[in-house]
Amino acid sequence: MFYIWGIIMSKYTLLGLVFFIIINGNLFSDDDVENVFPKNAITVDMGLTASTLITWGIIGDPVFGTAIQYERQILNNISLAGRFEYRVISISSSDGSRTTTSSFSAEGHVRYFPGEGIFFFDGMLGYANFNYRDEAINSTSHYLKLGAKLGWRIDFGKPGGLVLEPAIGYYWAIGKNSDIAFLEGSDEFSNFFNRLFNQYYEYIIKGYFVGGLQVSVGLGYRF
């Protein structure tokens, strides 16, 4: 009787030990994932910032742009990010007047890291506005943004700490810019050139300020 009871108890004890080992193994595995894949990252688009500052130095008029992004790793190969971008060009004319064009964007990103988590595919959905302002005009347009990028995450050393993220892609801007009367008057000549200038500005807006080819160089910190 005691022999049978001992066998039963030893089986339950063995099962309990196996269960304990499995649970602890999973816990250690999660700790390893935490150490290998930091969950948070903050980056600044140094490519955009540097290029606009160089342009500012060349032409003399204020030209500036920058973007900051916060990324949260939710799985080993998937992350979510929020990105905010600002661009401005302010040009003065010979008569002392100034024309300023600027844009602000708020973007949501989903990143997928195949394989070893070095390269990533980035899908984006966001909102942007564009403002044109001079002595007589102050006009703002609103856009929906869609886009995708292919990028490369480079950790300096082990994962965590300084990180460099070069990426290239394309953004589409959905919306129409507000019509601006660059030339006063309602005659055919004024209407023609106003339409021409508005079309020209729409290409600039959707090709640079809120859309077009995107080449970024994110420099930041993972933790």
Question: How far apart are alpha carbons 99 and 181 in whole angstroms?
Answer: 14
Q: Residue 158: pLDDT band by 50, 70, 90 thresholds?
A: confident
Q: Quick one: DSSP state of residue 178?
A: P
- Strands 138-152 and 154-155 turn out to be unpaired
pLDDT in tens, 102-122: 999 999 999 999 987 789 999
CB 38 within 8 A of CB 159: yes
Highest mean pLDDT among 78-82, 134-138, 178-182, 192-196: 78-82
Domain residue limits, the chain: 1-36, 38-222
Q: Global pTM?
A: 0.77
Instruction: Report CA 46 to chain centroid distance, whole Å.
Output: 12
Q: Which carries the bigger pLDDT value, residue 14 or residue 215? A: 215
Average pLDDT, the chain: 84
Q: Which of 70, 68, 110, 108 is nearest to 85 (CA)?
A: 68
Q: What's the topology of domain 38-222?
A: Porin (2.40.160)
Q: Residue 37: pLDDT band by 50, 70, 90 thresholds?
A: low
Question: How far apart are alpha carbons 181 and 189 in whole angstroms?
Answer: 12
pLDDT in tens, 163-216: 999 999 999 999 988 888 777 777 777 777 778 888 888 999 999 999 999 999
pLDDT in tens, 83-93: 999 999 999 88
Question: How far apart are alpha carbons 187 and 180 in whole angstroms?
Answer: 15
